[in-house]
Chains A and B, each alone.
Chain A
Amino acid sequence: MNHVGIAGFGQTKAVTTRSDVTFPELVREGVDLALAAANMTMDQVDAVVYPLAPDALIGVNNGERWVVDAIGATGKPFMRVNNGGATGMSAVLTAWTHIASGLFDVVLVAGADRVSESGSAQSVLNKMWDVGYERTVPLNTITMLAMSAQRYMQLYDSDEVDMALVSEKNRYHASLNPYAHLQSSITVAEVLASRTLAWPIKLGDACPSSTGAAGVVMVSERYAKEHGVEVAWVRGLGQNSETLFMGDRVGPKHVGDHADADALAVAFERAYRQAGIVDPFAQIDVAEVYAPFSSVELHVVEAAGFAPKGGAPQALREGKFRLGATEGPVVNPSGGTQCTNPIAVTGTIRVGEAANQVLGRAGAIQVDGARVAVASAIGGDHQFYSTMVLSTDLEEI
């Protein structure tokens, strides 16, 4: 199988609104930044994989077609991926396939989103559920994950302070990240005192609605060697899917417990197997995981194998997962999805931040000596999962 590497990652500073650009112009910014990071031009790109999750967030059906001219992709192979919130990472995995198939050497993944400019993102997202049952509850991404958080608290004797510890860590990390949307740190007390959105999720536990663009440039091993391109090597990748229905995740006949992320754990395991990772806590230096709410990060780090089920809060209290931690991986040194969430490219940012870490390009949020990183994304109603392991070299992990 052909090896594939990430040659460059670019992103705009995430903000609440961008009234100075149209959507195609915003995407173009992400393209330009990604190409600049890879020291390439669009002429060198063989194909484009475009991440765009709900069209409704930008108000244009098949909005990917609108951006083709602006990004200079006319005449090139171009396809769009939509795996909900996992889209930005599923697109990276799709680009990997483009290169591993032997058809292409250089593939661009780039896109944008303007979530806060959709009128009501949560109203839009309510429409992703089943028409007859769950849409009318009414579920949205906050209430859905509040139920998951409640179940986690019940099952593992956890509380709101555990969630606030995640927020405090991520907001501190984001305060060091010039591209993050939320760049102010927050204390545990401030999280606990913040407005409740859907108990136990409070404003301090929640991601912002972000406008931003991002992209990565991926190249074949042959191209990297012929052109002397430094890359973050893709060592393993995985995807998995969960049942749609919330009702199938609770009760005596459940197929998955809403407290946990078992299907995500399978996706991690698939990537780890390819990469030769048997002890994730010891072998992985950095993790950029998709967790739009603090409660989600608790079970995601457990699915990643960094703590036993129900063990993430204790690990946090011991100072693990934080920049400067003396053992184990640093989790979301960028601040993660909780601090920046332009949905269509949030997964792309996870991969890009992980790539920057193993390439030593992460600036103020660089994890010292980072060689192996893992990234993950979640889409749908906590339903679609993507994972990827990256490393500085092709040596044994």
Chain B
Amino acid sequence: MTDSHPSVAVIATATTQLERETTRSLEEMIFDTTRAALAGACLTIDDIDAVVVSGNDETDGRVISIMAASGPSGGVGRDLTMTASSGDHALVYGWMRVLAGQSRRVLVVGWSKPSEGVDPDHAELVEAEPYLLRNVGMNHTAAAALQASLLQDAPTGDGPVVAWPLTHGDLPVRGDTVHALVLAAEGSFEPGIEQAWLLDCGWATGAYELGQRDLADFAPLRASLDQMAARGIAPEPGAWDAAEIGADSEPSVRAVADLLGLPSRAVVNASGSLADVITAPHVQGLTRMVSAIGRIAEGAASVAGGIGFHGFAGQGATVAVFAAQKGAHA
């Protein structure tokens, strides 16, 4: 990046989070949330240059879920792209579009509605390749337990063990979730309406084979942080006031917080524990990023990091750094 690239702000967010949406279809949830985000920025869809969306076909029960989402997310007649690897990648791609000068205002919409699927557990199971992992019943809970078993930190959650050593209280709750955000280049919005500046993002994906990586090492997260450190644009975690971490279990959240080397003042997961915040694996990272934006918007933090993971035991990681001031350089 150079000085010729614009600063990027988040000028509106809207969220729908329900344990189980019983009255609205996925399309209606996307439409309502998108409309709320646009209203929050005092914009209409005509003010938007491009739409970046993210969903998971199997969870949504649609072979190409961008098709059904294109209308309610405002994509018809527009440049529309789905980043299917993770909800947080939609935020990253929207940010890059503004940096590139390709768009001035981008709508980012990520969703997951596991309650609509007949069997969300089966949708997770078919994330496993068919030769070995699927036959052993791999899913996010089992992978999280394998990871937690390697961490020094003992689980502290309440309730019976779900997958040793993890209890219900250690694991994320699953629910119906839609997030919509408006990203905008400096100069394309009224100064002062921004909720936070998006300073930098790092993202990386590690080995798929669980035996090929040290699950306690969080290598994709380290690689993501290294990318940002090399650019030197955003403050490193040691200068953050808050971190919102969407890991696969509470022991992993604590391990990630330790790895980051946050200052003692930093508050971790102020929005709630994994068991408190309704979300779904595909958008868990985006959920935490929206929470980090919220910390900035409410004045509770000057710099906040949002961290998400995707895939079994955090195969991929994304870090986004938000700040109250666009000049919050490292």
A residues lining the B interface (CB < 8 Å) = 1-2, 22, 50, 52-56, 59-62, 64-69, 73-84, 90, 93-94, 97-98, 100-103, 124-125, 127-131, 238-244, 263, 266, 270, 379-381, 383-384
Contacts and interface: CB of A to CB of B under 8 A. Distances in A.
A36 B19 CA distance: 50
Given A59-B130, A75-B219, A84 B66 contact: yes
Nearest to B130: A59
Interface stretch (B39-47, B96-104, B243-251): B96-104
B315 A380 contact: no
B80 A83 contact: yes
B67 A381 contact: yes
A239 B127 contact: no
B208 interface: yes
B157 interface: no
Given A62-B85, A76-B204, 10 more contacts: A56-B57, A60-B129, A62-B56, A80-B89, A83-B66, A84-B64, A128-B63, A240-B77, A241-B75, A270-B79
Contacts of A79: 83, 85-86, 89, 92-93, 203
Contacts of B205: 65, 68, 73-78
10 contacts: A54-B63, A55-B126, A59-B126, A64-B85, A65-B315, A73-B205, A75-B223, A78-B85, A79-B92, A128-B62
B67 A84 contact: yes
Q: Interface range on chain B: under 10, 10 to 19, 20 to 34, or 35 or more? A: 35 or more
Contacts of A127: 62-63
B191 to A, nearest CB: 23
A82 B84 contact: yes
B209 interface: yes
B212 interface: yes
Nearest to A4: B100
B101 A100 contact: yes
A93 B205 CA distance: 21
Given A50-B85, A54-B57, A76-B205, A100 B102 contact: yes
Interface of B: 1-2, 4-5, 50, 56-58, 61-64, 66-68, 70-71, 75-86, 89, 92-93, 96-97, 99-102, 123-124, 126-131, 202-209, 212-213, 219-220, 223, 227, 231, 310-312, 315-316
Contact of B64 (A2, A54, A66, A75): A54
Contact of B1 (A54, A103, A128, A241): A103
A221 B4 CA distance: 16
A291 to B, nearest CB: 19
A266 B96 CA distance: 23
Contacts of B2: 102
B57 A97 contact: no
Given A238-B79, A241-B77, A66 B129 contact: yes
Given A124-B63, A241-B77, A82 B93 contact: no
A68 B93 contact: no
Contacts of A82: 57, 64, 66, 82-84
Contacts of A242: 76
A190 to B, nearest CB: 33
A108 B209 CA distance: 22
A101 B96 contact: yes
B101 A1 contact: yes
A323 to B, nearest CB: 33
A101 B153 CA distance: 40
Contacts of B207: 68-69, 74
A64 B227 CA distance: 22
Contacts of B219: 74-75
B179 to A, nearest CB: 17
A66 B101 CA distance: 33
Contacts of B97: 97, 101
Contacts of B64: 53-54, 82, 84, 128, 379-380
A290 B67 CA distance: 18
Nearest to A132: B25
Given A101-B96, A381-B67, A77 B85 contact: no
B70 A52 contact: no
Contact of B71 (A22, A75, A239, A244): A244
Contact of A384 (B66, B86, B204, B209): B66
A98 B126 contact: no
B146 to A, nearest CB: 16
A60 B57 contact: no
Given A61-B56, A83-B80, A100-B101, A383 B67 contact: yes
B67 A75 contact: no
Nearest to A78: B205
Given A60-B126, A79-B92, A83-B82, A65 B208 contact: yes
Nearest to A51: B84
Contacts of A90: 81
A61 B57 CA distance: 8
A79 B203 CA distance: 9
Given A77-B227, A94-B93, A100-B102, A62 B84 contact: yes
